Structure 1
Amino acid sequence: MQLYPVILGLLHLPITFQNCRCQHFYLDLELISLLLHRIYDALSPLWFPAPFISLHPHCSLPPSLPPFSSEPDWASVTLGVFVCQGCSLLHRGIPHISRVKSVQQEIWDASEVELMAAMGNEPAKAKYEQKVPAFYYRPKHTDCKLLREQWIRARYERNEFEFIEKQEPYSAGYREGFLWKRGRDNGQFLSRKFILSEREGALKYFNKQDARDPKAVMKIETLNATFQPAKIGNPYGLQITYLRDNSTRNIFVYHSDSKEMVDWFNAIRAARFHYLQVAFPGASDEELVPKLTRSFMKEGFMEKTGPKHTEGFKKRWFTMDDRRLMYFKDPLDAYARGEVFIGSKENSYTVLPGLPPSTQGYHWNHGITIVTPDRKFLFACETEAEQRDWIAAFQRVINRPMRPQEYAVEAHFKHKP
């Protein structure tokens, strides 16, 4: 089973022909691919039991094992599903449920091959995901480990999507509990009581356990939640944002139990989903689900100057949240120092690389100019790569036509120079 990686190595080796004027040259890639596929077809019965070669059609994968693709190279021989390398590591965390084997590097028993043939990815999906709520977040491979791990555990360990009663923690419309919340001024995380109520249309938190009045009331209408483990410094860290007097307020929380934290996240999504169903009665689930929660388009440090363009440039943390560009002195600040609305090109919004020739006082050399109907905003990035990424993020927003409700946001928008 070690032969196949060696054969792949031939792609990078020069081939010598004695009767050719050129001593070294590379064969055409398509010809090499054809040769290797034929070698693979000839040798595969030596590597795997004969039934194994026909498994992939049952799993909605190509009929042959993936010599030139990114198809999964691992499988759970107890669940009967193929998984990618990243998910294989998470499956190893539940050994009582899932036992993982390499497709190419390990010997398979006939019984394991038979299970894979009997199950496969599509039948497994039909079994383990038959009752996934529309609002439940389905993680992507780029999402944090917490979301991917709890998705796997919810499917295979807790069987949450086979039995609706197991979804009560995030589907009931009401959730109450304690989360560790970062203090606005001192930065310390303290235990705070949180209540999410769909009936009241709000998420509230209380400074004291027996307090009658909440410290803050966050309307579900403007509520957002996104996991930020690196930013918060905790693997279960969640950033909650909402609008207060048309300005963004950040709250940073976590819980020591990973399932508890993901349940809170999906409870917020459920509340948002039911709110939007009422607000947009004709919209389909497919239209509403992308609006439940959102990750930030781009975050990072840039330098900025003031509205006169003669002020010194200061290093600030920037967050691009849809059409809101916010900047903070510190990434974990509760409030932004300023917010800028980024409209569309049809409304005279433009992003330009570089800074005006007369600009002075910046320390980073990779400038960006945002042109709005009212003024120009000047930023500077530390590296050219960061400049490209920020320009790409701005361009995606500017190229998108504004929706009717975004004109109202633009009209009432507040920003601090």
Structure 2
Amino acid sequence: MAGERRGAVLELLRRPGNMRCADCGAPDPDWASYTLGVFICLSCSGIHRNIPQVSKVKSVRLDAWEEAQVEFMASHGNDAARATFESKVPSFYYRPTFSDCQVLREQWVRAKYERREFVHLEKQEPYSAGYREGFLWKRGRDNGQFLSRKFVLTEREGALKYFNRSDAKEPKAIMKIEHLNATFQPAKIGHPHGLQVTYLKDNSTRNIFVYHEDGKEIVDWFNALRAARFHYLQVAFPGASDADLVPKLSRNYLKEGYMEKTGPKQTEGFRKRWFTMDDRRLMYFKDPLDAFARGEVFIGSKESGYKVLDGLPPSTQGYHWPHGITIVTPDRKFLFTCETESDQREWVAAFQKVVDRPMLPQEYAVEAHFKHKP
């Protein structure tokens, strides 16, 4: 009898919608919440265990199932749960996948089932109101210490600002929504809720690194920034659909890591630097947590004369790592080396992806800025 019930649950897994985790989309979920009626992956089942007042979980294959539990799963399922618990998810709200960090996935699960934010619109005010202020721990540029700083996000002014003192009249920095990006970087920042915010000043990238001890708070900040970007882009591109705008709200980096580089004359020795590939900007830093890039390289498309080559020119000297990469631009060649062959392959693939993509009209303006940099 127990085997029959388990077999019935396994059969339910094959229904459309149930073959991927209800929360993060991971394939082949083998856990279930028998109080919510959803099939979930092992990773999300751990999050559900932390909200036992809402969700109780079982292994589809290993645990015993009661008849009433099987019937409940049969009358619900992932598609039905989505129709209920995700009925009012704002377009700008970030829906995490199985490759996203823990805090994003946990707060998505809690927002759906525990707080029911996507059933009750008034619960979305922390990130939908167009204005948000509060304190975040921000990393100091010079000493690397995290200090509490007041942040204000105002859509009306189109800016995120922070203040060095809570009673300060003038902000320490004003970051325009137009050029703002936010991406979770827990490993780099050394905190599970670490968020990297980048903005442009004088067409150069600046980084700030922040966190909040409360997972809900930092994810609300992240989605408030996405909402501000969304509303800015709706005005800037009045004919664009939500589907066109949502991918532009925030972006993860294409690739990050250490490589060695040499200077423009290619006669000085190679130096180890931390590189970040952000869309078409390849930036390099002395340290991963530096506020400013030491330099930036624009990588255009093959139609505009950009190429990525394995290896270095034969006459190259002064490098320590054996796996070379040459980026050819209309103006010069950039030479890099990687410590391992797999690093080289990953960097070449990331560069090639960018080079293969035709340039957008606005990217030609960015390229022109790079050419006229002092």
TM bucket by the smaller chain? over 0.9
Change in Cα spacing, 1:51 to 1:367, as seen in structure 2 (3 Å) is closer
Deviation of residue 192 (structure 1)? 0.4
Match of 1:321 among 278, 282, 296: 278
Q: Is the 8 A contact 1:58 1:117 kept in 2?
A: no
Matched, 1:358 2:324: no
Q: 1:202: which partner in 2?
A: 159
Distance 1:254 1:355 in 2: 40
Q: Is the 8 A contact 2:6 2:64 kept in 1?
A: no
Deviation of residue 89 (structure 1)? 1.4
Deviation of residue 48 (structure 1)? 2.6
Matched, 1:410 2:362: no
TM-score (norm 2): 0.96
Q: 1:226: which partner in 2?
A: 183
- The structure 1 segments of at least 4 consecutive aligned residues displaced by more than 2 Å after TM superposition are 44-62, 414-417
Match of 1:151 among 99, 105, 108: 108
Q: Is the 8 A contact 1:137 1:266 kept in 2?
A: yes
Counting only pairs closer than 5 Å after superposition, residues 394-405 of structure 1 correspond to structure 2 as 394-405=351-362
| Cα deviation digits, residues 45-73 of structure 1 (max 9, x gap) | 835356535424655346xxxxxx94111
Q: 1:36: which partner in 2?
A: none
Counterpart of 1:130, as a letter, is: S
Counting only pairs closer than 5 Å after superposition, residues 194-343 of structure 1 correspond to structure 2 as 194-343=151-300
Distance 1:144 1:202 in 2: 26
| Cα deviation digits, residues 328-375 of structure 1 (max 9, x gap) | 000000000000000000000000000011111100000000000000
Matched, 1:347 2:288: no
Change in Cα spacing, 1:196 to 1:414, as seen in structure 2 (3 Å) is farther
| Cα deviation digits, residues 85-114 of structure 1 (max 9, x gap) | 111111112122111100101110111101
What secondary structure is seen at the aligned counterpart in 2 of 1:55?
helix
Change in Cα spacing, 1:414 to 1:170, as seen in structure 2 (3 Å) is farther
Q: 1:6: which partner in 2?
A: none
What secondary structure is seen at the aligned counterpart in 2 of 1:217?
strand
Change in Cα spacing, 1:53 to 1:371, as seen in structure 2 (3 Å) is closer
Distance 2:372 2:162 in 1: 27
What secondary structure is seen at the aligned counterpart in 2 of 1:48?
helix
Q: 1:121: which partner in 2?
A: 78
Q: Is the 8 A contact 1:305 1:312 kept in 2?
A: yes
| Structure of larger gyration radius | 1
Counterpart of 2:368, as a letter, is: A
Change in Cα spacing, 1:186 to 1:55, as seen in structure 2 (3 Å) is same
Q: 1:184: which partner in 2?
A: 141
The number of residues matched between the two structures is 368
Q: Is the 8 A contact 1:58 1:122 kept in 2?
A: no
Q: Is the 8 A contact 2:2 2:64 kept in 1?
A: no
| Cα deviation digits, residues 369-394 of structure 1 (max 9, x gap) | 00000000000000000000000000
Change in Cα spacing, 1:110 to 1:45, as seen in structure 2 (3 Å) is closer
Q: 1:131: which partner in 2?
A: 88
Distance 1:370 1:337 in 2: 18
Q: Is the 8 A contact 1:339 1:416 kept in 2?
A: no
What secondary structure is seen at the aligned counterpart in 2 of 1:108?
coil
Percent identity, aligned pairs only, is 73
Distance 2:36 2:239 in 1: 39
TM-score (norm 1): 0.86
Q: What RMSD over aligned residues (CA atoms) do the two structures have, in Å? A: 1.7
Change in Cα spacing, 1:353 to 1:211, as seen in structure 2 (3 Å) is same
Q: Is the 8 A contact 2:178 2:229 kept in 1?
A: yes
What secondary structure is seen at the aligned counterpart in 1 of 2:297?
strand
Distance 2:7 2:39 in 1: 18
What secondary structure is seen at the aligned counterpart in 2 of 1:190?
strand
Change in Cα spacing, 1:282 to 1:261, as seen in structure 2 (3 Å) is same
Distance 2:60 2:372 in 1: 55
Distance 1:366 1:227 in 2: 30
